[in-house]
C-alpha cells in the first residue's frame, strides 16, 4: 500500500501538496496537480481512511443501529438509509442491538469508538436517560421509531396510536363487531400505542373492549399462530382479527386455515407495517402502512443537513402518519 509520502517523492513535491490535490480545497497549480495525479495513478495510491480520520477528526461515515440484520422491516430501513447517504458520498456502518440493553449499548459504543460522524439509532432496549445523555454529548444522534421526551427534534416516529386506530376502524367500517386483537409485547411503546388505538376505535364505535379478545404476542410469526388458537377459546365469536404486525398476521392466517376458516369470508384479518412480504401472502394482506422508508430517508437527510451541511431536498418532518393498505383479507360483514 503506497502512502502519501511515496507519492510525494515520486511526484517530486511535498507531502502537503499531495494532501492538497487529494482534498481539492487549496490552490494547486495545474502542472503540479498533473504530476501528483500521475504519481498517484502509477503507484495505485489509495488514501488510508483511518489515518485521514485520525488527522481530520472526520470519518465520513454514519453509524446505523438496527435491532436485527434480517427481516423485511430492517432490510428496508438499512437499504433506504444507505441509499441516500451513499448518494451523498457518506458511508454507513451497521450494527445490530438484538433488542437487548447490554448489546444495544455495546453496539452504540462501538459506533462511537469508530468515531462515526453521526448516529442513526433504532434503539429499543436502551433507556431514555441513556439516549438523552447521548444526544447531549458530542456526537449527533437521531432516533427512529421511538419518541423520547425532550428529544422530539431528534426522533422520527410513526403515529402508532393512529395506526392501531385505523386498523380496527377499517374492520368496524366493514361491519365487524366482534374484533379480536393480537398485540406486540406491551412493554414496547409501539405495541402498547397500537393497542391503545385499537381500544379507541372500539370505544368510538360504541363497542366494549373485552380483555378476553386480546392476546399478547411477541411480534414473531409463531405468536400469531398461538394467538389465533388462544383467541378461539377465549373469544370464540370474533369475525375479524387485527394483528399488531404483519408477521403475526401471517401466523394467524396459517392457524386460521388449519382451523378451517376461509379468509376473508369466514374471518377477516388486518396486519400492520406493510412489510414487503405482506403482498406475497395469500390472500394478500390488508394492513397498515408503516412509512419506514420515509422515516429512514428523513433521518438520513437530517444527518446530511446537520452534520455535513448538505441541505435536505425536502422539509424535515418528525411525525409520520400511517394509512390503510386495502388488499384482500378484510371482508365486509
Partner DNA sequence: CTGTTAGCGCGTTCAA
Partner DNA sequence: TTGAACGCGCTAACAG
User: In the complex, which residues of this chain contact DNA (CB under 7 A)?
Assistant: 1, 3-5, 12-17, 19-20, 22-23, 25-29, 31-33, 47-48, 51-52, 54-58
Write the interaction track for a copy of itself spanning residues 57-96; mark x where CB under 8 A is met and - where it is not. Answer: --x--------xxxxx-xxx-xx--x--------xxxxxx
Dist. CA 61–CA 140, nearest whole Å:
12
Partner whose footprint covers residue 29, from DNA, a copy of itself, none (CB < 5 to 8 Å by kind): DNA
Residue 224: other Cβ atoms inside 10 A: 31
Nearest to 324 by CA among 171, 177, 196, 191: 171
Applying CB under 8 A, the site for a copy of itself has a residue count of 44
Cα of first residue to Cα of last residue in the chain, in angstroms, is 71
Among residues 75, 77, 91, 86, the alpha carbon closest in space to that of 145 is found at 77
**Residue 170 touches which of a copy of itself, DNA, none (Cβ within 5-8 Å per kind):** none
- 28's contact among a copy of itself, DNA, none, with CB below 5 to 8 A by partner kind, is DNA
| Rounded CA separation 109/139 (Å) | 11
Q: Which does 93 bind (CB under 5 to 8 A by kind): DNA, a copy of itself, none?
A: a copy of itself
Q: For residues 78 and 186, which CB has a smaller minimum distance to a copy of itself in the complex?
A: 78
117, 97 Cβ separation under 8 angstroms: no
Contact 59, 116 (CB under 8 A): yes
Q: Per-residue contact track with a copy of itself, 229 to 268, x per CB under 8 A? A: ---------------------x--xx--x-----------
Stated length of the chain: 333
* Residue tagged 511515496 (cell numbers): 6
Distance of closest approach, residue 98 Cβ to a copy of itself, in angstroms: 9
Q: Give the DSSP letter of residue 217.
A: -
Q: Which three cell numbers stand for residue 163?
A: 395506526
Q: How far apart are CA 162 and CA 158, in angstroms?
A: 9
Quick check: 105 binds a copy of itself (CB under 8 A)?
no
Q: Using the rule CB under 8 A, is 291 a contact of a copy of itself?
A: no
CA distance 177 to 240: 8
Q: Pick what 26 binds: DNA, a copy of itself, none; C-beta below 5 to 8 Å, kind-dependent.
A: DNA
In the complex, which residues of this chain contact a copy of itself (CB under 8 A)? 1, 46-51, 53-54, 59, 68-72, 74-76, 78-79, 82, 91-96, 109-110, 112-115, 138, 221, 250, 253-254, 257, 276-277, 280-282
Amino acid at each position: 500500500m503506497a502512502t502519501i509520502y511515496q507519492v510525494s517523492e515520486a511526484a517530486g513535491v511535498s507531502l502537503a501538496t499531495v494532501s492538497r490535490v487529494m482534498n481539492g480545497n487549496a490552490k494547486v497549480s495545474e502542472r503540479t496537480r498533473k504530476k501528483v495525479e500521475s504519481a498517484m495513478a502509477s503507484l495505485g495510491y489509495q488514501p488510508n481512511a483511518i489515518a485521514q480520520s485520525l488527522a481530520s477528526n472526520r470519518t465520513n461515515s454514519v453509524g446505523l443501529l438496527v435491532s436485527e440484520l434480517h427481516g423485511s422491516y430492517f432490510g428496508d430501513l438499512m437499504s433506504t438509509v444507505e441509499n441516500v447517504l451513499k448518494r451523498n458520498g457518506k458511508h454507513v456502518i451497521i450494527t445490530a442491538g438484538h433488542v437487548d440493553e447490554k448489546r444495544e449499548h455495546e453496539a452504540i459504543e462501538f459506533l462511537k469508538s469508530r468515531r462515526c460522524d453521526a448516529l442513526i439509532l433504532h434503539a429499543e432496549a436502551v433507556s431514555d436517560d441513556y439516549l438523552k445523555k447521548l444526544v447531549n454529548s458530542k456526537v449527533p444522534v437521531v432516533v427512529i421509531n421511538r419518541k423520547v421526551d425532550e428529544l422530539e427534534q431528534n426522533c422520527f416516529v410513526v403515529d402508532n396510536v393512529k395506526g392501531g386506530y385505523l386498523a380496527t376502524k377499517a374492520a368496524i367500517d366493514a361491519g365487524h363487531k366482534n374484533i379480536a386483537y393480537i398485540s406486540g409485547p406491551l412493554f414496547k411503546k409501539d405495541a402498547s400505542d397500537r393497542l391503545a388505538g385499537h381500544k379507541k376505535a372500539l370505544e368510538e364505535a360504541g363497542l366494549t373492549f373485552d380483555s378476553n379478545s386480546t392476546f399478547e404476542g411477541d411480534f414473531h410469526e409463531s405468536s400469531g399462530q398461538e394467538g389465533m388458537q388462544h383467541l378461539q377459546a377465549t373469544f370464540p365469536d370474533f369475525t375479524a382479527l387485527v394483528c399488531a404486525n404483519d408477521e403475526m398476521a401471517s401466523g394467524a392466517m396459517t392457524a386460521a386455515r388449519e382451523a378451517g376458516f376461509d379468509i376473508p369470508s369466514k374471518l377477516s384479518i388486518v396486519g400492520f407495517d406493510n412489510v414487503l412480504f405482506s403482498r406475497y401472502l395469500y390472500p394478500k394482506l390488508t394492513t397498515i402502512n408503516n412509512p419506514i422508508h420515509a422515516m429512514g430517508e428523513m433521518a438520513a437527510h437530517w444527518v446530511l443537513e446537520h452534520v455535513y451541511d448538505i441541505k435536505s431536498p425536502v422539509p424535515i418532518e418528525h411525525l409520520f402518519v400511517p394509512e390503510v393498505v386495502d388488499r384482500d383479507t378484510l371482508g365486509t360483514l
